[in-house]
Amino acid sequence: MTLQRSDLWSLEQYSQQRPSFKKEVLEHKKNREVNLNKHTRLMFEDEKTIRYQIQEMLRIEKVFEAQGIQEELDAYNPLIPDGHNLKATLMLEYGDVDERRVALEKLTGVERVVWMQVGDAEKVYAIADEDLERENDTKTSSVHFMRFEFSTDMIKQAQAGADLKIGCDHIMLEGAQLTITGATREALLGDFSS
Domain coverage including residue 130 = 5-191
pLDDT tens per residue across span 136-179: 677 888 999 999 999 999 999 999 999 999 999 999 887 789 99
Sign of CA dihedral 187, 86, 32, 2: negative
Confidence (pLDDT) at 97: 93
pLDDT at 194 over 60: no
Query: Per the structure, how many domains does the chain have?
Result: 1
Q: Tens digits of per-residue pLDDT, 16-39?
A: 999 999 999 999 999 999 999 999
